[in-house]
């Protein structure tokens, strides 16, 4: 069972004064603040020897090597700003005047003249609010966890001295962590565009260096200000109800003479379009000097160069090739119909591939798609803006979505062979019971597919899901008629309708694209936005 190291800081006052980069209000408090508080608490417990050689030092060095934590915090509201008169950190001028035997308490020698007005704008939360920082653990009974638990009990402030807190640390299971109250913040880019500072390997050493320089700032009558802390990372955070921030580049598929679109049948030819596009990208990367290992993993999605490794998973850091069926208005009522593929979205489920996407935008226009059978060019790629109406149908915000290609489930929907028993002569009650078990199994696999595609557990578990073999949009064919890669043929596939909802059950508009399931890297399980 997965466990996590959970550090809880409970605010003793509902006003929090911490500021982030640029002086902007910081809520929730950053992981770096918590780390600094733990360092101060551990050093105080280790006096007079400090941290050197203590269990606290090893524990803090372990913590700075961990990935940024999930944060659970109460909702914060920015308060009304007010002004204070404070020292402007110019006491070195006063000290220099005193060194010149100027004790007249006038001019530079008067500390009262070195003051400035400071704007304070606290973030207000509910009384006795607790903030939780969760790091996944492999060994719940580690010495590092015990040392951090001891240090956390001595934490007294979080940033400013007026932000008094009570600290606590414990090991929680996933179920216990899921029950913690508050708004969940996940590391990773999303709709908020919000970042927090987090410790990295070397932060403890940099804090130790800065403290040493601070103690020696007045040496031989000369003021030497300590340099600021530099060993930290700025990590994007998003709420659990926000969609991940993904990168993609859209292309139109034109005839070889570029006189117009080159259509491909969605059910029968989309997979061939994926193969031709992947070959074109591979060819362009080799011509541009890519390393063969990067071509295998990022472009081809192979786990290794040996044939037996080709279908091994390589993680989300790879290109996904999403053929985009046109969404056309047809008939007297101008109803929307899913049409042929005329566009391709080169996409990544990983948030760190902006460099590769920029390369694709620069290199792939005018690349030809070559038929594997005839070796003749079938289409030419041309760059498309995101304002293209069809592309926007897959990327705009909406709470309601439906598949244009079926979702390949990430597992078998009937491992216990319930369908065989349904074919037998059984009672109506048993039949209803078995159908319910099948429904729950498919529902579980679809929510697992959402999580595997990068959506949070909160989004996945609150979404409304419907599924069937027949499409929910006009023009879609039966789910089993769509071409799939050979290694996915054994898995069931369904058309799915999805409605995003928040924890209160209200419809939640989120941007696309939405593509889930075991075939998501081939454009299977692709949704388009629909009207509620």
pLDDT (0 to 100) of residue 32: 94
| Strands ordered across the beta sheet of 15-16 | 15-16, 123-124, 77-78
pLDDT (0 to 100) of residue 212: 87
Start-end of H helices in 319-388: 354-363
CATH top-level class of 3-76+122-239: alpha beta
- Single out the residue of 368, 400, 398, 393 nearest to residue 382, CA to CA: 368
- pTM of the full structure: 0.77
**CA separation for the pair 255, 378 (Å, rounded):** 7
pLDDT (0 to 100) of residue 21: 76
Tell me the helix, strand and coil percentages in the chain, rounded to 5.
30, 30, 40
pLDDT (0 to 100) of residue 140: 65
CA-to-CA dists, residue 348 to 278, 362, 388, angstroms: 13, 17, 19
**CA separation for the pair 122, 386 (Å, rounded):** 39
pLDDT (0 to 100) of residue 431: 87
Q: Say if CB 405 and CB 524 are below 8 A apart.
A: yes
**CA separation for the pair 189, 211 (Å, rounded):** 33
User: What digits encode the pLDDT tens for the residues 23-48?
Assistant: 778 899 999 999 999 999 988 876 65
- Single out the residue of 319, 327, 497 nearest to residue 406, CA to CA: 497
Residue 241, judged by CB atoms within 10 A of its CB (0-12, 13-18, 19+), counts as buried
**CA separation for the pair 350, 356 (Å, rounded):** 11
What's 525's DSSP letter? T
Q: Say if CB 170 and CB 137 are below 8 A apart.
A: no
Q: Say if CB 499 and CB 489 are below 8 A apart.
A: no
The residues spanned by each domain of the chain are 3-76+122-239, 82-120, 247-529
Tokens of 378: 């079938």
pLDDT (0 to 100) of residue 101: 60
Per-residue pLDDT tens digits of the chain, which is 532 residues long: 578 899 999 999 888 888 877 777 889 999 999 999 999 998 887 665 667 777 888 899 999 999 999 999 998 887 777 777 766 666 666 666 666 665 556 566 666 666 777 777 778 888 778 999 999 887 766 788 888 988 999 999 987 788 899 999 999 988 898 889 888 998 876 655 688 999 999 999 999 998 888 888 877 777 788 888 999 999 889 888 887 777 789 999 999 998 999 999 999 999 999 999 999 999 999 999 999 989 999 999 886 555 454 555 667 889 999 999 999 887 666 678 999 999 999 999 887 888 999 999 999 999 999 998 899 999 999 999 888 999 999 999 999 999 999 999 999 888 888 888 888 888 888 889 988 999 999 999 999 999 999 898 889 999 999 999 999 999 999 999 999 999 999 999 999 999 999 888 899 999 989 999 999 999 999 999 997 6
What's 306's DSSP letter? S
Half-sphere exposure of 68 (CA within 13 A, CB side): 22
User: What digits encode the pLDDT tens for the residues 430-453?
Assistant: 889 988 999 999 999 999 999 999
């Amino acid at each position: 069972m997965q466990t996590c190291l959970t550090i809880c800081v409970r605010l003793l006052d509902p006003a929090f004064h911490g500021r982030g980069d640029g002086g902007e209000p910081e809520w929730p408090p950053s992981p770096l603040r918590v780390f600094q508080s733990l360092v101060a608490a551990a050093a105080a417990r280790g006096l007079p020897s400090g941290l050197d050689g203590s269990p606290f030092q090893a524990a803090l060095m372990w913590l700075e090597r961990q990935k940024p934590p999930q944060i659970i915090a109460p909702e914060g509201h920015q308060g009304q700003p007010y002004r204070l008169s404070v020292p402007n950190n110019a006491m070195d001028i006063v000290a220099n005047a005193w060194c010149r035997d100027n004790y007249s308490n006038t001019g530079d020698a008067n500390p009262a003249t070195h003051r400035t007005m400071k704007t304070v704008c606290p973030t207000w939360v509910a009384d006795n609010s607790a903030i939780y920082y969760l790091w996944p653990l492999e060994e719940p009974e580690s010495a590092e966890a015990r040392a951090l638990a001891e240090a956390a009990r001595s934490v007294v402030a979080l940033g400013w001295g007026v932000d008094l807190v009570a600290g606590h640390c414990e090991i929680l299971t996933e179920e216990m962590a899921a029950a913690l109250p508050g708004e969940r913040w996940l590391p990773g880019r999303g709709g908020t565009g919000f970042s927090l500072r987090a410790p990295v390997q070397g932060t403890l050493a940099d804090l130790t260096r800065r403290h040493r320089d601070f103690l020696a700032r007045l040496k031989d009558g000369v003021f030497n200000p300590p340099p600021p802390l530099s060993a930290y990372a700025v990590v994007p955070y998003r709420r659990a109800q926000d969609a991940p921030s993904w990168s993609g580049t859209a292309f139109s598929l034109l005839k070889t003479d570029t006189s117009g679109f080159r259509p491909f049948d969605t059910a029968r030819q989309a997979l061939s379009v994926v193969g031709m596009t992947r070959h074109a990208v591979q060819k362009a990367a080799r011509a541009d000097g890519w390393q063969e290992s990067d071509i295998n993993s990022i472009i081809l999605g192979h786990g290794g160069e040996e044939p037996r490794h080709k279908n091994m998973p390589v993680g989300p850091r790879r290109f996904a090739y999403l053929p985009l069926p046109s969404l056309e208005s047809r008939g007297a009522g101008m109803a929307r119909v899913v049409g042929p593929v005329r566009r391709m979205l080169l996409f990544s489920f990983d948030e760190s591939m902006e460099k590769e996407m920029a390369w694709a935008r620069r290199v792939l226009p005018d690349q030809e798609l070559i038929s594997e059978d005839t070796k003749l060019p079938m289409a030419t790629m041309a760059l498309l803006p995101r304002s293209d109406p069809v592309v926007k149908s897959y990327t705009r915000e909406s709470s309601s979505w439906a598949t244009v290609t079926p979702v390949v489930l990430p597992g078998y929907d009937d491992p216990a062979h319930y369908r065989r028993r349904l074919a037998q002569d059984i009672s109506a009650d048993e039949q209803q019971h078995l159908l319910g078990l099948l429904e729950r199994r498919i529902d579980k696999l679809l929510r697992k597919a959402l999580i595997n595609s990068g959506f949070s557990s909160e989004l996945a578990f609150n979404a409304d899901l419907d599924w069937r073999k027949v499409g929910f949009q006009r023009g879609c064919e039966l789910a089993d008629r769509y071409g799939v890669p050979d290694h996915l043929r054994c898995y069931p596939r369904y058309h799915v309708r999805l409605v995003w909802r928040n924890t209160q059950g209200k419809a939640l508009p989120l941007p696309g694209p939405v593509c889930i399931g075991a075939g998501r890297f081939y454009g299977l399980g692709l949704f388009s936005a629909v009207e509620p």
